Amino acid sequence: MNARARSDLRGREILAGSSPLLAIRYQIVVVFMQAAATAIGSLLFVRLAAGRYLTAAHQLRRYLL
C-alpha cells in the first residue's frame, strides 16, 4: 500500500464500524482543536508583532511613521 492510500485510510479506519454519533463527536473535537490552534497562533502573532512595532507606552515606533 502506498503512502497516499495509507493517508486516505487514516480517518476512516479509526471509525470503521463505529456508531455515527461517535464519528460526530470526533468531528466536533477536531473542529474545536482547529479553532483553538487558530486562536493560539493569532494571539502569539499579535503578541510578537506588538513587541516589535509598539513602544513600552504602546505607541507606534518612530521608524514606522
Q: What pLDDT score was predicted for residue 11?
A: 56
Q: What are phi and psi for residue 32, nearest 5 degrees?
A: -65, -35
pLDDT digits (tens), the chain, 65 positions = 555 555 555 555 556 677 888 888 989 999 999 999 999 999 999 999 988 899 889 888 888 76
Per-residue cell: 15:
471509525
**Nearest 10 degrees: Cα torsion 26, 29, 35, 37:** -100
Q: What pLDDT score was predicted for residue 28?
A: 93
How much is the pTM? 0.61
Question: Which parts of 1-65 fold into alpha helices (H)?
Answer: 3-15, 20-53
Domain residue extents for the chain: 18-64
Q: What pLDDT score was predicted for residue 2?
A: 58
CA distance 42 to 36: 10
Asked whether the beta carbons of 60 and 53 are under 8 A apart, the reply is yes
